[in-house]
Structures are given as structure tokens and as C-alpha cells.
Amino acid sequence: MQDWWRNSVTYQIYPRSFQDSTGNGIGDLPGITARLDHVASLGVDAIWLSPVFTSPMADMGYDVSGYTDIDPLFGTLADFDALLARAHGLGLKVIIDQVLSHSSDQHPFFIESRSNRDNPKADWYVWVDPRPDGTPPNNWVSVFGGSAWEWDARRRQYYLHNFLASQPDFNFHNPDVQDWLLCTMRFWLERGVDGFRLDTVNFYFHDQKLRSNPPDPRNTAASRVNPYDMQDHLYSKNRPENLAFLERMRALTDEYDARAMVGEVGESRRAGQIMAEYTAGKTRLHMAYSFDMLGPEFTAEHFRQKIESFYAAAPNGCPCWSFSNHDVIRHVTRWAEYGTPEALAKQAIAMLAGFEGSLCLYQGEELGQTETDILYAELTDPPGFKFWPDYKGRDGCRTPMVWDDSAEAGFTTGTPWLPIKPPQQARNVAGQGAGSVLEAYRETLAFRRKTPALRHGKTRFLGLPEPLLGFLRDDLMCLYNLSTAPQALNVTTGANLTGPNRATLTGATLTLPANGFAFITGATAAKPA
């Protein structure tokens, strides 16, 4: 199906932590292939693989030194082909992570670029002269802390890095850079991948005038751990030139049947606007991956506002909603004050199933998996070292998948690269029987798949007070109690519960327990009892 991506469900796999087949404690491609039956059993449409390309692993693969090969840590191109074939045999599409905004400083092109100011790759990265006093050209800061500019003694210039100093940014104002990156994408399209998850898609271009970013008026120094959050990033990212390159990428994918792109929009102030721009019409991204629901906010107003604002700006666009990924605290831990992990996990998939748009699940959330408490001695993540203890990095959500209750959870026969601790081991795949979170995920996704209103229906929100979230998807009513206290509502006489529910309906009175939810037919209105 050409537009399989629209209203799809994607399962994100973090390869280092899914399944180790060699005993070295690090997950790999053959391990993923061996576990694809589990993913298929959930009823998802696609898998997204975080980067498996050649890399020195300074940022766990998001620092690419070879764009058209597999890092030996994960396997070989033959292993990738075998994974692709197995996934397709199970009816799963395969999306791979493309890290185009920057490379590793070990990439041959950067090594050549930094060697002098007069070489074939001299202008492939963003190089600038210092100001007369030797300081960087502006106030841009790195997401990982400190200046976004690194001095290079060989060229006697600064280069731009929005992340680690070992992740120099490509110069997208150079058309040769664009052409080459498109060629690397074509390599994987020819190999048979079904699409791309585009890392930091709004970071590609920088302001050529190198204007300093203004402060973000919402934040103060006292309230932020990372100074990056104190700027409004008008000039270091989100540039209008991005749109033309998105159109070049779309033209490339349109040369192939049934391929799709989902862009990661890492932005706090204008995320909805940017997502709308990036998915407008049929010449840019197919979907935009939202960060809007990856924070601590857990209110009906928050979820409603994010969905309504996107569709107001892009009525024909396609967002991709998610509650967890490899960069944020797992949602059942983030929202712990609002319920137990199991209750929150079951409600979370019911909410995602109800939301208009595409969905992305992160490995382990189908188990109600919680964040791992990482000690400083166990850290591997660069931002964790930088901002400890106020920010502990991303290792806590990246610990290995827990398959069973054996010594190393069925993940490896060696020592896992990150620890598997008792609270996480208790939530393992083998132990999830009747009434489990895993069963709830399978049941809810099956219901969504067979219910046209949840796949294609338009959303009309109901005017309910907190903590109640309610909306109609065509003729199907979706209701959620975002609290630990029971809530009662009066619904239209003749209403009926359908699909997975955590509610009771007596006559016209619906009772939602803590973290309760209901899918209802035959109802057009609801109000607090």
C-alpha cells in the first residue's frame, strides 16, 4: 500500500539494547532478527532502527563515520539484508535512522576538511574565523552543553557542532553536500528499506549571517539545567532553507514505491508550526515525529492543545505521536505521580490508539517498563557526565530489553553494556500473562487496526473538565481519566462499551477508575455526573 505510513504504528528498536547474539553484551542485527516475532505479535506496521552505521560510538551511533556500511559491533550488510528480509516476511516495514545534520569527526570528509583551508572538502563543514578577540562568532550553544563552536588549530578557525565536539555539522549551504547525502539515502532505498527516520531534521541549515540567538522569554537561568534551553534558536536551526532540501528528499523517496520519511522535530517553542510546515502538501515529509508528549505534562488540556494545534496548522498533515523514546525518561516513570506503572502503561496505549495520526512505541513500553536508576559509575551518556546529578543522561531509558527472569534477562550470555536491575527485570516478556500490560498492548492495537474510526476518523474534542480527556473520532467516543481518583460521567442513553476498557457503564452513567478509559459507541455527548 503506497500510503502505509499514514496512521501507522512504528516500534522503535534501540539496537544496542534489544538482543545480543554474540555474548559481548551489546545487541546486534542477528539478535534483532531473532526477536522480530515478538514485535510482529504486537500488531505494529513498522520498525525503526536507531543507527547501526559505522561509528566510533561517541554518541552511541549518532556520530556516523561511514554512511553506507554497518558497524562491526552490530554485524554486516549481509546481516542487515537478512533482517530486512525477515521483517518483510512478517509484514513489517523497516525504517532506518538517518543522521544527516552532522557526521563523526572520524569521517574521512571531516579529516580532509580540517587539514587545511584549500582542499576538496574544505567547505563541506561549517567553518568560521574567530572574532578579533579570538572568541567564537556568536552565542550559539551545544545541546550537550558549552559553546557550539570548537577551535581547530590546523585551520585556525572554529567549526560548528550542535551536539558533541566530535559531531561536526555539515554545511548544507554547499549543494555538493546535499547531493552526496541524497546519494547515501539512495543506497539504502536500493537495498530495500521502507523509509527513514530523519534525526534532528530541523538542524540541517544554519543562518549564514551567523546572527546570535535571542533569549527564550519563557526561561531563566535559575530554572534551567542546560543553558541550551535558555535560547530561542532562531538562527542555529529552524531555517527556511530547510524546506527546499526536504522537497529534494521527498522527490528522491517518490522515485520508489511505498517509501516514507518521518522527521524528528526537536524544538520547544514552535514545534507545532514546524511540524505543520514540514508535512504540508505532498512534497515534503510524510510525517513529523513530535516531542510534544515526551515531557512531564500529563493533563487533558496539554494533550488536547497539542493535537488541535497541529491539525489547525496542517489539516492534511500527519503527526507521529509518542510517549517514550531513547532520549527521554520512560513515561510511566515521568508520570509516576498520576498512577502505577501498570495502570499508566495500559492507559497510555489506549490514549495513543485514540489519537489521530501515526504512533511510535519504544521498546519495552509494552511491558510497562520503568526508568532504570543509573549510578554515576555506570554512566555512558555524554550529557549525563556533563550535567550530573541534576540531569543523569539518557542511559536510564536505554538499558537492555528484558525477555525473561534469567540472570541476564535473556538479552545476553555475557555482561550487558548497561545494567539490568531488579525493578526492570521484574517486567519481562515471559512473565507477562493474562491481564498484563503486554496483553493490553496487543489487544488495544488489534482494536485500533480493525476500527476505521481510529485509523481514519477526524477528532472532535468534548468540553470536559480536568482530569477528564474526551473526544469523538467520527462516531466513536474515547474517554480517559488522567488521575488516581475515580470519575463518573453521564453519557448519551443507548451508549455501549466496545473494545478494551477500564470502565463500567450502568445505564447512562460511566464510571472511570483511576487511570480508567473507555471506547464507546452510540454516544454523542458526555458530561461529569
Indicate the class that CATH gives domain 9-103+174-448: alpha beta
Question: Per-residue pLDDT tens for 239-283?
Answer: 999 999 999 999 999 999 999 999 998 776 788 889 999 999 999
The reported pTM is: 0.97
Q: How confident is the model at residue 222 (pLDDT cuts 50, 70, 90)?
A: low
Question: Per-residue pLDDT tens for 464-517?
Answer: 999 999 999 999 999 999 999 999 999 998 999 999 999 999 999 999 999 999
Q: 458-528: which CATH topology?
A: Immunoglobulin-like (2.60.40)
Whether 458-528 and 9-103+174-448 are alike in CATH topology: the answer is no
Active-site position among 199, 277, 356, 408: 199
CA distance 24 to 417: 8
Q: How confident is the model at residue 194 (pLDDT cuts 50, 70, 90)?
A: very high
User: For residue 288, what are the contacts with CB-CB under 8 A and spacing of at least 6?
Assistant: 201, 262, 263, 265, 274, 275, 278, 279, 317, 318, 319, 320
pLDDT value of residue 269: 75
Active-site position among 133, 255, 337, 390: 255
Question: Per-residue pLDDT tens for 110-159?
Answer: 999 999 999 999 999 999 999 999 999 999 999 999 999 999 999 999 99
Question: Per-residue pLDDT tens for 356-402?
Answer: 999 999 999 999 999 999 999 999 999 999 999 999 999 999 999 99
Q: C-alpha cell of 203?
A: 538542524
CA distance 293 to 282: 25
Question: Per-residue pLDDT tens for 411-460?
Answer: 999 999 999 999 999 999 999 999 999 999 999 999 999 999 999 999 99
Active site residue 356: no
Q: How confident is the model at residue 220 (pLDDT cuts 50, 70, 90)?
A: low
Domain boundaries, given as residue ranges, for the chain: 9-103+174-448, 458-528
CA distance 353 to 244: 33
CB 401 within 8 A of CB 364: yes
Active site residue 199: yes
SS3 154: coil
